[in-house]
Amino acid sequence: TILTASLAKPATSSSLTLRRPDDWHLHLRDGAAMAAVLPATARQFRRAIVMPNLKPPVTTVEQAHAYRERILAALPPGMSFEPLMTLYLTDATQAEDIRRAAESPYVHGVKLYPAGATTNSQSGVTTLARCTAALAALEETGLPLLVHGEVTDPDVDLFDREAVFIDEVMEPVRRDFPGLRGVVEHITTRQAAHYVRDRSQRGVDGRPNLAATLTPQHLLFNRNALFKGGLQPHWYCLPVLKREEHRQALLEAATSGLPQFFLGTDSAPHARHLKEMACGCAGCYSAPVALELYAQAFESVNALDRLEGFASLHGPAFYGLPVNADTLTLHKSPWTVPTELPFADGKTIVPFLGGETLPWRMAD
């Protein structure tokens, strides 16, 4: 139909126009921090799946609705942006909470954080055996389960936690709840990429039942970046960057044209001083440079013609939402990313690749 048709113009050597993209995995925080970072996302993306890992987490439909109102209130005049809300799954989530979430026009997914896996995951799920009723309600309603796919067992090597999660958590859950729709968020390994490539099936509605989001940092960098010339805190996010062979598998998945792979920046803002300290926070603040970095990654394998599907078409199809009507244009016009930006409480934030020169730049 006209609604899902591509608006992409063939990439010339100097510019690229695609349907307006959405960000299917984003951390916006709250209060002054949110107000500081929201315009960067709204400038590039029409919508975003907003993560619920606030302190305290967003666990009820009422909290999700109130958070949505705060986001809309923080949006600068003249910018249009639609936050797509999520609930944070806990051991205490009831089937009724899930049904009410599925009925809300504003809630689009439920997020599984294994307790202790990442930033603000203390209230996460300790064992999925406690969530049987909630998972059954997700299966029944079709509301997607969005997964931080890492086991937290301290005996499992940090770099293996995603692959072990696929085998020990994701596969058993999908076997027990075959109707469940799932997104493995910010995948970082060949195992996750191949699992989602090979095991996703089309439902009766034609939509994939298993999908994955991919971040710009995992498409562009391997774990060497964490240690290049010294410890590099601004490359530290979770799940952590992996070996080059994994990066290549992720890039192959993102540029495959398969509808189960789509854009999710995982832009995760933390103030500069909280990144540049002993025991610094995990998260890359990629929102100000997101589309530029995805274009760079796709161009590196001559796949710019696949960027629009990944950035603007596959996500809406998975979530059952219309594609956006307008477009975004990128120019081949090298520019240097600011080394820091204003953040909350007089603090600053370092955008991902601050100080580096990028080949692509979004047109104003």
- 283 part of the interface to ligand NCD, by CB under 6 A: yes
Q: Which of 11, 85, 180, 238 binds ligand NCD (CB under 6 A)?
A: 238
- 256 part of the interface to ligand NCD, by CB under 6 A: no
Q: In angstroms, what is the minimal distance from the CB of 90 to ligand NCD?
A: 16
Strand order of the sheet with strand 357-362?
15-19, 327-336, 357-362
Nearer to ligand NCD, 283 or 315 (CB): 283
Name the active-site residue from 155, 266, 326, 345: 266
Pick from ligand NCD, Zn ion, none: which does 238 bind, CB < 5 to 8 A by kind? ligand NCD
Nearer to ligand NCD, 242 or 361 (CB): 242
Q: How far apart are CA 335 and CA 129, in angstroms?
A: 50
Q: Which of 46, 108, 111, 148 binds ligand NCD (CB under 6 A)?
A: 148
Position of minimal CB gap to Zn ion = 266
Is the CB of residue 109 less than 8 Å from the CB of residue 86? yes
Q: In angstroms, what is the minimal distance from the CB of 275 to ligand NCD?
A: 10
Q: Which of 41, 53, 141, 265 binds ligand NCD (CB under 6 A)?
A: 53
How far CA 247 is from CA of 178, 236, 311, in Å, comes to: 29, 15, 18
Q: In angstroms, what is the minimal distance from the CB of 59 to Zn ion?
A: 17
Q: In angstroms, what is the minimal distance from the CB of 148 to ligand NCD?
A: 6
From the centroid of its chain, how far is CA 214? 7
Nearer to Zn ion, 97 or 266 (CB): 266
Structure tokens at 63: 């909290």
Nearer to ligand NCD, 133 or 282 (CB): 282
Kindly tell me the burial class for residue 94, based on how many C-beta atoms sit within 10 Å of its own C-beta (0-12, 13-18, 19 or more): exposed
266 among known catalytic residues:
yes
- 119 part of the interface to ligand NCD, by CB under 6 A: yes
CA angle 262, 81, 19 (to 5 degrees): 45
- 118 part of the interface to ligand NCD, by CB under 6 A: yes
Nearer to Zn ion, 150 or 266 (CB): 266
Pick from Zn ion, ligand NCD, none: which does 53 bind, CB < 5 to 8 A by kind? ligand NCD
Q: Which of 266, 271, 315, 362 binds ligand NCD (CB under 6 A)?
A: 266
- 50 part of the interface to ligand NCD, by CB under 6 A: no
Q: How far apart are CA 234 and CA 185, in angstroms?
A: 20
- 89 part of the interface to ligand NCD, by CB under 6 A: no
Name the site residues for Zn ion (rule: CB under 5 A). 266
- 237 part of the interface to ligand NCD, by CB under 6 A: yes
* 219 conformational bin, left if phi > 0, alpha if psi -120 to 50, beta if neither: alpha
Q: In angstroms, what is the minimal distance from the CB of 322 to ligand NCD?
A: 27
Nearer to ligand NCD, 121 or 141 (CB): 121
- 27 part of the interface to ligand NCD, by CB under 6 A: yes
- 57 part of the interface to ligand NCD, by CB under 6 A: no
Nearer to ligand NCD, 9 or 55 (CB): 55
Residues engaged in binding ligand NCD (CB under 6 A): 27, 53, 118-119, 148, 237-238, 266, 268, 282-283
Active-site positions read 266
